Structure 1
Amino acid sequence: MNSFNAENFHQLCDAVAERDADLKTVIDTHGYPPLWTRPNRFATLVLTILEQQVSLQSAYAAFKRLEEKIGLPTPVKLLALTDEELRACSFTRQKMAYVRGLAEALQKRTIVLKDMEALPDDEVRRRLTALKGIGDWTVDIYLLHSLGRTDLFPTGDLALMNGIKMVKGWDTISKERALEWAAPLRPWRSIATMIVWHHYIRKRNIRIVH
Structure 2
Amino acid sequence: MDEKLIEQGMAELALLDVDIAKAWQEYGSPPPRYLKPHFVSLLSIVVSQQISTQAAKAIMSRVVALMPTVTAEHYLTLSEESIRAAGLSSRKVLYTRGLAQAICDGQLNIDQLATLEDAQAIESIMALKGFGRWSAEIYLMFALTRTDVFPADDLALQVALGRLKGLDEKPTAKVARELVRAWAPWRTVGSLFLWHYYRGAPA
User: How high is the TM-score relative to the length of structure 1?
Assistant: 0.90
Corresponding position of 1:29? 26
Change (3 A) 1:30 1:66: same
Which one has more relative contact order, counting CA pairs under 8 Å at least 6 apart?
Answer: 1
* The one of 148, 152, 163 aligned to 1:151: 148
Match for residue 124 of structure 1 among 110, 121, 128: 121
Instruction: Between 97-106 and 176-185, report the one with greater CA deviation.
Output: 176-185
Aligned to 2:180: 182
Answering whether residue 83 of structure 2 is matched by residue 86 of structure 1, we say: yes
Stretches of structure 2 that go unaligned for 5 or more consecutive residues are none
1:94 deviates by 0.7
* Deviation string, structure 1 residues 158-191 (Cα, Å, up to 9, x no partner): 1111111222222212223212210111121111
Q: Which residue of 2 aligns with 1:60?
A: 57
Choose the corresponding residue for 2:165, options 164, 168, 183: 168
2:131 alignment partner, one of 130, 134, 158: 134
Separation of aligned partners in 2, 1:54 and 1:62: 10
Q: How far apart are the structure 1 equivalents of 2:201 and 2:73?
A: 41
Q: Matched residues in 1 for 2:62 and 2:2: separation?
A: 30
1:115 corresponds in structure 2 to: 112
Counterparts in 2 of 1:186 and 1:60: CA distance versus 1, 3 Å: same
CA distance in 1, matches of 2:68, 2:157: 32
1:8 deviates by: 2.9
Alignment correspondent of 2:10:
13
How far did 1:30 drift? 2.1
Residue among 38, 42, 45 paired with 1:45: 42
- Cα-to-partner distance string for 1:20-58 (whole Å, 9 max, x where unaligned): 122122321222111212110100111101111121111
Name the structure 2 match of 1:75: 72
Name the amino acid aligned to 2:199.
I
- The RMSD of aligned alpha carbons is 1.6
Output the amino acid matched with 2:74: K
Counterparts of 1:45 and 1:182, CA distance in 2: 26
2:152 touches 2:174 (CA, 8 Å); kept in 1?
no
Identity between Structure 1 and Structure 2 (%): 30
Structure 1: 5+ residue stretches without partners: 205-210
Letter in 2 for 1:189: R
Matched residue SS, 2:65:
helix
- Scaled by the length of structure 2, what TM-score is found? 0.93
Q: 1:85 to 1:177 in 2, by over 3 A?
A: same
Distance (whole Å) between structure 1 residues aligned to residue 192 and residue 23 of structure 2: 11
What is the CA-CA distance between 1:5 and the residue it aligns to?
4.7
Letter in 2 for 1:201: R
